[in-house]
Amino acid sequence: MSNQQLKDVGLKVTLPRLKILSILEHSEQKHLSAEDVYKLLLEAGEDVGLATVYRVLTQFESAGLVARHNFEDGHAVFELNSDDHHDHMVCVDSGDVIEFVNKQIEELQHQIAEEHGYELIDHNLVLYVKKKS
């Protein structure tokens, strides 16, 4: 994401915003809590406070740059918004978040809404799973 994209969503380009955005873009893990972002910034030798991380993530969410998810324990995690829709599975043992896309599930959701006289505008599907023994 570029400086211009930050400006396009009405945010001033600041060093903390750029550093946090870089963490979100380059982290192997796609779903990060504010604390995760803060720890990664510390590991990179960056001097950005936890309160700033929370504030910037909230600003990014308001601007539509990131999506906030509250999985099993209500613990908020953030991921960069993308044009491709996907759903999530959360492992209740490890906390791992697995993204998936299933055409049949997508079609069924539209069908269910239609059967009840509605048009599906958006949805958020989270499956809570555990590894088979």
Binding region for Zn(2+) = 91
Kindly state the DSSP code that residue 37 receives in the 8-state scheme: H
Is the separation of the CB atoms in 66 and 60 below 8 Å? yes
DSSP tag of 88: E
Query: Binding site, residues?
Result: 85, 87, 91, 106, 123
In three-state secondary structure terms, 115 is helix
Find all residues with CB under 8 Å of 57, minimum gap 6, and list them. Answer: 20, 34, 37, 66, 68, 78
Amino acid at 100: F
What residues form the annotated binding site for Fe cation? 85, 87, 106, 123
Specify whether the backbone of 115 is left (phi greater than 0), alpha (psi in -120 to 50) or beta.
alpha
